[in-house]
Structure 1
Amino acid sequence: MFAPTFNYTSGIPGLELAELISYSVQFVFAMLRVGSFILAAPFFAARYINLQVRIMMAVALTIPVITQVEMPPVDVLVSMKAVPMILSEIALGLAAGLVLSIIFGTAAVAGDRIAATAGLGFAAQIDPASGTSVPVISQLFSLFMLATFVSLDGHLLALRMMIESYNYIPPGGPLLTGPMLEAGKEAARDMFTYSVQLMMPVVSILLLVNVLIGVITRSAPQMNIFSFGFPMTLTMTVVLLFVGAPVLGKANEWVMGSALDLLDHMLQEMANGRR
C-alpha cells in the first residue's frame, strides 16, 4: 500500500502556507488601528450598523494599508513584544474615534437643554444610535449632525486621515499619550462651548417667553398656567426650531470642521513627537 501524500500549501499559486499565515498576522495587526476607529467614531459606531458590516469595512480599508506600509516582522508580532504594540494601535484608533464622538455630542447636549427649557424633557424615545432613552429634540439634533457629517463627506475625510496616518505614524511604534490627552481635553471643552452656542438663541427666547407667561398668570390668576403656558411654549419651540434650521445646518458644518481639524492636529502632534 502506498502512504497518502499531502501537499501543505496554501492553495494560492506561489504562496506557501507559512507565508500565508505570516501575511494574515500582519494583516490583522494592520487592521487594529482602523478597526478601533470604526468602533468608536460617530456614525460608524451606531448600533444600527451591524458588527459584521464594521468588520468588512475594517478589512476593506486595511487592504491598501498592508500593500503600502511596512509592518513589524512576524517574529515580533507572535512574541510578547507585540502586546504593547497592539495596545498602542488600539488606543490610537479609539482615541481618534472618541475625539470625534465627544465633539459630535454637542448636538445631543444642546438638544437636551432646549428640551428641558421647553418642558419637553419627558418626550423621550430610544435613540437608535446609542440605545439609550433621550429627548426627541436631542435625537433630532444628533441625527441632523450625522446627516451633515455624511452629506459633506466628513466620514470619508476621517477615514482618509486614519489611513494616511499609517505613513507618518508607523505601526508598532511607541504610544504618545500627551497629544491624545490634550485632544481629549480640548474636545470636551469644545463640546460644552459649542453646545452653549447652539442652544443659546432658542433658550434665550424661551426664557423671555416663560417670563412673559409668568407675568400674565400673575396679572390674571384665573388663567391656568398649564392650559395656557405649555401650548404657548411648545408652539414657540417648534417655530424657533423651524426658523433656525438653516442656521443650525451651518453651525453643524462648522462643528464638523472643528472636529476634523482637531483629529488632524492630534495625529500630526503624535507624528512630530516620534520624529
Structure 2
Amino acid sequence: MEPYATVDQVWAGGLLFARLGAIIMLLPGIGEAYVPARIRLALALLLAMALYPVVGHTLPALPPTTGGMVGWILREVATGLAIGAILRLFTSALMTAGEIVSMQTTLGFSQTANPMQAAPGSTLSAFLVLLGVTLIFATDTHHLFIGAMVGSYEMIAPAKPLVAADFSELAVRTMSQSFLLGVQLAAPVLVFALVFNLASGLVARVMPSFQVYFAAAPLSVLLGLSVFALSLGVLGTVFIDRYRALIRVFMGGALG
C-alpha cells in the first residue's frame, strides 16, 4: 500500500474508523436499525478520511506488537461507544414525555411499532421520538455531531488515560436530566390532567347519580390531545436547545 498510503497513515485511519464507526452506530437517526449497515460504514469511512488532517496529530504511533494494536483499537471502540451512548441516551426524554402524556390521556394501551426501539411502545411516545429525529435533521443539529467527534479527540485524546469515572458521571447526569426534561415536556398535559380529574371528582361528589366516567373519558382524550398539540412547538424547541447544549459538552473539550 506504500504507493497510496504509508503504514502510519493506514494505522491512523483505522484508529479514526474505530472511534467514529462506534459513534455513528449509536447516533440518533443515523445509527438506527432501518439505516443500512453499508451506509453507516461508508459514512464512518468518509468521516475518517475527512477528519484525518484535523485530528491526525493526536493519534499514537503504530505499536510494534499485535497486542498493542488490538489494545488501541479496543480503547477507541469503547470510547466511541461511550460517546454515542450518551448522545442517544438523552433522546429518552421524548420517550418519557410520550409515556406520561399517554397515561394522562388514557391512551397508554394504544401501542404501535417504534422504529427507534426493538419493542413496541405507546403511539405518542413513538410519535415524539420520530419528531425529535426529524427536528435534529431539520435544524441542522446533525452537523454538530461532526464537531463533537472532532472535539472528542481534544477532550479524550488517545494518548491520554481513559477516565471511566468521568464517563460514568456524565452518563448518570445525562440520564437524570433526560428524565427531568421528559417530565417538563409533559408538564402542560400533567397540569391539565390534575385540574380535569379534580373537576371530575367534584362533579361526582355534587351529582352522585351523574355518570361522570362516560362524560369524562372522551373529554379527557379530546382536551388532553388538544393541550398536547398546542404545546408541541414549545416541546420541540426546548428539546433541541437542550440537546444542542449536550453536544457542545463534547465540542467544548471538557466533561464537566
Partner of 1:93: 80
Matched, 1:132 2:108: no
Partner of 1:156: 143
Q: Which range moves more in the overlay, 217-226 or 158-167?
A: 217-226
Residue 217 of structure 1: how far off its partner (Å)? 3.4
Matched, 1:230 2:217: yes
Partner of 2:30: 44
Aligned partner (choices 66, 72, 84) of residue 60 of structure 2: 72
Residue 87 of structure 1: how far off its partner (Å)? 2.5
Asked whether the 8 Å contact 2:100–2:183 carries over to 1, the reply is: no
Matched, 1:260 2:237: no
Partner of 1:180: 167
Give per-residue Cα distances to partners, 1:43-101, cap 9 Å, x unaligned: 2221221111110110010002334414433344x521233322321122112112221
Residue 162 of structure 1: how far off its partner (Å)? 0.3
1:251, 1:170 → 2: CA distance?
32
Gaps of at least 5 residues in structure 2 are: none
Partner of 1:245: 232
Partner of 1:15: 3
1:219, 1:24 → 2: CA distance?
79
Asked whether the 8 Å contact 2:112–2:121 carries over to 1, the reply is: yes
Matched, 1:63 2:49: yes
1:258, 1:74 → 2: CA distance?
36
2:250, 2:127 → 1: CA distance?
25
Q: Whose radius of gyration is greater, 1 or 2?
A: 1
Matched, 1:205 2:185: no
Residue 164 of structure 1: how far off its partner (Å)? 4.2
Matched, 1:190 2:177: yes
Gaps of at least 5 residues in structure 1 are: 1-9, 271-275
Partner of 1:27: 13
Residue 107 of structure 1: how far off its partner (Å)? 0.9
1:168 and 1:205, CA in 2 relative to 1: closer, same or farther beyond 3 A? closer
The TM-score, its normalising length taken from structure 1, stands at: 0.82
Amino-acid identity (%): 21
The TM-score, its normalising length taken from structure 2, stands at: 0.88
Asked whether the 8 Å contact 1:126–1:132 carries over to 2, the reply is: yes
1:53, 1:28 → 2: CA distance?
18
2:63, 2:78 → 1: CA distance?
23
Residue 235 of structure 1: how far off its partner (Å)? 0.3
1:139 and 1:65, CA in 2 relative to 1: closer, same or farther beyond 3 A? same
2:241, 2:53 → 1: CA distance?
35
1:269, 1:214 → 2: CA distance?
49
- Calculate the aligned-residue CA RMSD, in Å: 2.4
